[in-house]
Amino acid sequence: MTTVRYCVNGKLVNGIAPTNRGFAYGDGVFRTMRLLNGELQDWPLHYQTLVADCSKIQIVCPSAELLMQEFKYFMASASEAEVQFSILKIIITRGEGARGYAPPAVSEPTRVLILSPLPAYPAEIYAQGIALYTCQTRLAHQPLLAGIKHLNRLENVLARAELKDPRFFDGLLRDYDDHVIEAVSGNLFIRKDGLVMTPVLESCGVAGVMRQKILDWYKTQRQTVLVTTLTMQDLLSAEAIVIVNSVYGVLQVSHIDEQAVSTNHWAKELRSQLHYVTH
């Protein structure tokens, strides 16, 4: 059984300083990706989003070369099983600082690499789809942080804590205007009236790499994806709904709460078109 292991600033250490701003204030960003047969899946796109997210909160993202150098060092002590099938989470914080919100004029970003076992998803989630629970926790509007995978994920934590019934794979997140935004763990697409749509993430939500891959793929097919506001009624009247992230790929939604929703083979088609290999 592989355990969770981590590397901080290129060293196999047992933790980070309590004065680290990522710990103290959530002052940082992260991305989570699969490691399959020693290859980080979609690394260039994950790095591109790390750079973009860092830039939006005025952190200078470490170079890809440094992160890959530290990743290779980290993996040198990995087991064969870890190299074959793992989840790598990369956290970039603003670094260490004195007490108080003021960002230090100069700071060295902290680079944290965390290796975890791949989740053992049941085959049924790919064969039969998944059920979503409509969370009571709502996403607040903050355009300055919308789309960024920053470390202030308490809304996701509180929403995920609502999922007590094992029938539900994940939760559905709305904002206070009753717009459907995303799943707790990923983004959402629907097909409705022959159109592909995904929630606009200008006020809240996280813009995931798998979401970007799907947007990019449809662009190569010269098919427009409507990035728009979606309501629960849009979902309940959709021809199909999928949730997507870099770990489980693309999953068809079969139920929202107790209600069965229209399903087809869209998720399977997208996994094939994106060459997503279930693990």
- Least distance from ligand LIZYD4HQ to the Cβ atom of residue 62, Å: 19
Q: Residue 199, class by beta-carbon neighbours within 10 Å (0-12 exposed, 13-18 middle, 19+ buried)?
A: buried
C-beta of 126 vs 248, nearer to ligand LIZYD4HQ: 248
C-beta of 109 vs 171, nearer to ligand LIZYD4HQ: 171
C-beta of 49 vs 245, nearer to ligand LIZYD4HQ: 245
Q: Which residues of 78-111 are buried (b: 16+ CB within 10 A; e: fewer)?
A: beeebbeebbbbbbbbbbbbeeeeebeeebebbb
Residue with tokens 């094992």: 166
Q: Residue 49, class by beta-carbon neighbours within 10 Å (0-12 exposed, 13-18 middle, 19+ buried)?
A: buried
Chain Cα centroid distance, residue 268: 20
- Least distance from ligand LIZYD4HQ to the Cβ atom of residue 52, Å: 16
- Least distance from ligand LIZYD4HQ to the Cβ atom of residue 156, Å: 7
Strand partners, 183: 172
Backbone angles phi, psi at 57, to 5 degrees: -120, 25
Residue with tokens 């830039």: 55
C-beta of 75 vs 247, nearer to ligand LIZYD4HQ: 247
- Least distance from ligand LIZYD4HQ to the Cβ atom of residue 196, Å: 21
C-beta of 45 vs 195, nearer to ligand LIZYD4HQ: 45
Select from 229, 237, 227, 278 the least CA-distant residue to 259: 237
Positions touching ligand LIZYD4HQ (CB under 6 A) are 32, 89, 185-186, 208, 245-248
Q: What is the per-residue DSSP string for 159-200?
A: HHHT---TT-SEEEEEETT-EEEEESSSEEEEEETTEEEEE-
Strand partners, 188: 243
- Least distance from ligand LIZYD4HQ to the Cβ atom of residue 22, Å: 13
- Least distance from ligand LIZYD4HQ to the Cβ atom of residue 33, Å: 8
- C-beta of residue 173 within 8 angstroms of C-beta of residue 134: no
C-beta of 95 vs 249, nearer to ligand LIZYD4HQ: 249
C-beta of 185 vs 252, nearer to ligand LIZYD4HQ: 185
- Least distance from ligand LIZYD4HQ to the Cβ atom of residue 106, Å: 29
